[in-house]
Amino acid sequence: MITQPLIQNIDAFCNSKDLLVDVLRLDNVHTIISGNKWYKLSHYLHDASRKNCKIIVTFGGAYSNHIVATAFVCNEFGLKSIGIIRGDKPAKISHTLQDAESFGMSLVYISREEYRNKRLIIEQYSNPEYYIIPEGGYGELGAKGASEILASVNELEKYTHIICSCGTGTMMAGIIQSAKKHQTIIGINSLKGYPEIEQDIRKILPIAFIESKFEIFNEYHFGGYAKKTNQLFEFMNNLYEKHHITTDIVYSSKLFFAVDDLICKNYFLANSKLLIINCGGLQGNLSLPKGTLFF
């Protein structure tokens, strides 16, 4: 269903001449299931098939990459899907949710207050024909799928640092499992006021990896989840102009910005070899006025 991601070398960053900076282009593995989404979904879907569940239920917001990816995959595999959407139904639904509906997903809108108590929502679907996938694919099965991301990287051992964005932390939990022992794993947190992310990552790691060392940077959220500034837009457009790398306002743009800033601050030693994982997914950009971005 997906193609192998490409490795792209870039030199767009501040003072990066003494570093190797490569990008794992997960954004090009599929036009709809962009980035890490297939990896995080695959083992859940296998488990649902094993249990003979016919309806997939999952959660997300109006511009959720996870929602549209789940809808598409379920449609491909002949499964029904239900999306529990955060917030009341607007007069006009987003392009993301329109796409999800076009792939056969039934949308159920829940107030933000009700959405916080997912346990009560899940209880409504406690029936053997339903299979629940947590928001963003968070969980041990999502991390297991994400652990397969690095399998496509030739000469993986040459990298000293592997850097990814963090929302739920599921992808990072997978990377921790598959990285080499000498590699430093860095996560760029896209959420404001989420100091529990390290704990949540460790919750879904196998016992053998619970004590693994990794680093989270919490200061590159630009004001909070999906928050953006003109500075971020300028950075995204410059990155695209120089290297034709498309980024989104929620995760990947803040990831690349953080790497650029850390290089400028000499965080990385000379001759370090960085692998940045572009997690893909551009749904959040659909909320922007036309012309904000060059892509």
* Cβ pair 187, 167 in contact under 8 A: no
| Closest C-alpha to 171, from 158, 184, 186, 182 | 186
What size, in residues, is the chain? Answer: 295
Beta bridge partners, 15, equal none
What are the pLDDT digits (tens) for 43-97?
999 999 999 999 999 999 999 999 999 999 999 999 999 999 999 999 999 999 9
Who's near 8: CB < 8 A, 6+ residues apart? Answer: 22, 23, 25, 243, 245
pLDDT for the residue 4: 87
What are the pLDDT digits (tens) for 127-181?
999 999 999 999 999 999 999 999 999 999 999 999 999 999 999 999 999 999 9
pLDDT > 80? residue 16: no
pLDDT > 70? residue 251: yes
pLDDT > 80? residue 14: no
pLDDT > 70? residue 39: yes
6-32+141-287 topology per CATH: Rossmann fold (3.40.50)
What are the pLDDT digits (tens) for 196-249?
999 999 999 999 999 999 999 999 999 999 999 999 999 999 999 999 999 999
Distance CA 117, CA 12 (A): 43
For the chain, domain boundaries? 6-32+141-287, 37-140
Per-residue CA distances from 257 to 174, 184, 292 (Å): 23, 19, 17
Residue 140: HSE in the Cβ half-sphere, 13 Å Cα cutoff: 8
What are the pLDDT digits (tens) for 279-291?
999 999 999 999 9
Q: Identify the residue with better confidence: 13 or 135.
A: 135
Q: Provide φ and ψ at 3, rounded to 5°.
A: -100, 165
Tokens of 289: 């006025």
pLDDT > 80? residue 1: no
Distance CA 290, CA 128 (A): 44
pLDDT for the residue 12: 63
Same fold, 6-32+141-287 and 37-140: yes
Confidence of residue 3 (pLDDT cuts 50, 70, 90): confident
Q: What architecture is domain 37-140? A: 3-Layer(aba) Sandwich (3.40)
Distance CA 34, CA 30 (A): 5
pLDDT > 80? residue 15: no
